[in-house]
Amino acid sequence: MFILRDILLPLQDHFSETTLGRERASLFVYTILSIIVPFTSSMTSNLWRCLDTLFGFEIKNKRFYTFMASPTLPWAGLWQTIWGLIPSLETDGRTLVGLDDSIITKVGKKIFGCEAIFDHAAKSNQSKYPWAQNIVSVGLLKQVKGRWACLFLDFRFYLPLKIECWKAGSIIISESFLFNSIHVCMELT
């Protein structure tokens, strides 16, 4: 457990020094531990139960879900810290980076980033253009104990069309897929 403490303590430094910031830092670390501990699957509801059962972290269901979906989590700094904690980025003298696009189907009409997106991996009984969000992820390819692993380091929504956010005055115009992917990679370096 000492190794986990050494890894997780630097992640807490990215949260503010206020009472709420310290509470969020603690909740963030315990959520990471809930994912690591083989208690249950990493679905959000199971993580919430794990926090209470294993760590005695009492938090209301709604507050935990609000925390998990918070747009104010300091992801940029957290990703940079995680990137810095990896002892050696190279495999055989080269840094190998993998890009992946994921389609997350949705039902509601007022969900950010949703549109009819072409699904190149759709099976014959699935829609080729589901109503979904498209997320581009970038990860570091490493050999861990003789097997290949992809350590995901960042992600962005891929928005192929102009999408108006539901906040007044906010308009997001998409970049091309290639430019968006290069932008994500450049932020990590």
Please report, in tens digits, the pLDDT of each residue of the chain (189 residues total).
Answer: 567 777 788 888 888 889 988 888 888 888 888 887 777 676 777 888 888 888 888 889 888 888 888 888 888 888 788 778 778 888 888 888 888 888 888 888 888 778 888 888 888 998 888 888 888 888 888 887 788 888 877 777 777 655 455 555 554 444 444 445 555 555 655
d(Cα 185, Cα 189) in Å, to the nearest integer?
Answer: 7
**Global pTM value:** 0.60
**Cβ atoms 75, 69 nearer than 8 A:** no
Query: At 165, phi and psi to the nearest 5?
Result: -70, 165
Q: Using alpha carbons, select from 45, 49, 6, 46 the residue that is nearest to residue 29.
A: 6
What letter would DSSP give residue 39? Answer: T
CA 26, 81, 147 angle in degrees (round to 5)? 105
**Distance of alpha carbon 55 from alpha carbon 188, whole angstroms:** 33
Tokens, residue 16: 């503010």
